[in-house]
Amino acid sequence: MSDYVIAEYIWLDANKNLRSKTKTIFYNSNKIVLDKKPLNLEDYPIWNYDGSSTGQAVGNNSEVFLRPVKIYRDPFRASNNSVLVLCDTWNEELDVANFSNSRARANTVMSNQKVVDAKPWYGFELEFFLMSKSTHKPLGFPKDGKSPTQGKFYCSIGSQNAFGRDIIEKHYQYCLKSGIQVTGINAEVACGQWEYQIIGEGIEAADDVWMSRYILERICEQFGVYSNWEPKPIEGDCNGSGMHTNYSTLKMRSENGIDTIFKAIEKLEERHHEHIKVYGDGNEKRLTGKHETSSMEKFKWGFANREASVRVSNQVKKDKKGYLEDRRPGSSCDVYDVVAILAETTILL
């Protein structure tokens, strides 16, 4: 009798859409791929796919290779022998990253010894809209598509206020089952808008964000809806979606770490426009100085200021250590770019 593991290989295409395909890995059988059950990352084989169909290769040389980077428990398949395998993408030489492989670029920064020693932590606040497939408007929006008056939806309860709770609750449980550190969820300010939070260290924090988004998309399939990660999908008097990033290093978290936080903020101001470039397409529609945002044209920071580029909480001010919150990243950003540029700016420069 064959023993096997079902592995869902997951990656990002050229446009930062998630893709996946399934591989059965046999072991201890006549169809041997492995002579033992794959338990560790290095046990999972490199695989390939047609990159010409994902915008990552041309038709006369279409093979792109998947290199596993992190293994998660599969919350969708009941078998204990099922896993989700997050991968990044490589050309056939296997030492040349595909042009779209932002994880490899980020890992160059994150594996620098100064960054490793700084132990950067990231806490991501991921905002998005749940959209109806029939109306292409957020769940709960009236048929005329006019944005409802905001206020009653934030952290709301009740079927007249909270739309899609069964989806976000299932996502919450599935992420935790998979091993992703989701620290909380809440309904957001706009109708049909939700947020969940993820915390982690180094590049693996970004891995967890992308895997959480994969899990969300799979759950949305079951409910016949889809998630929207545009920074400002609804024009007018409606909040956009950000990916506020809470960030700290070991020195920031240590005694009198607030001095390190202040120095980091100075560096972030100096490179404001470099950060804006990688903080998400369409972010200019969100960072207007309205709807709880700062203007993308000018950097400012403040204590407990939701309209700042970077916010420092009153608790951090009191404790004189902790973290800063970069409120500029939009929901459309590539989180690998975000973790890398924050570490580069505050640690390496």
pLDDT given at position 31 = 67
pTM as predicted: 0.96
Average pLDDT estimate for 67-73: 98
Asked if 246 contacts 125 with a C-beta cutoff of 8 angstroms, the reply is yes
For 5-48, how does the pLDDT look when each residue is reduced to its tens digit (9 = 90+)? 999 999 999 999 999 999 999 998 776 778 888 999 999 999 99
Query: 96-128 pLDDT, tens per residue?
Result: 999 999 999 999 999 999 999 999 999 999 999
Classify strands 3-12 and 82-90 as parallel, antiparallel or unpaired: parallel
**Packing angle between helix 335-343 and helix 102-110, nearest 10 degrees?**
20
Structural domains present in the chain: 3-100 (3.10.20.70), 113-348 (3.30.590.10)
249 confidence band (pLDDT: 50, 70, 90):
very high
The predicted-structure confidence for 192-229, as pLDDT tens digits, reads as follows 999 999 999 999 999 999 999 999 999 999 999 999 99
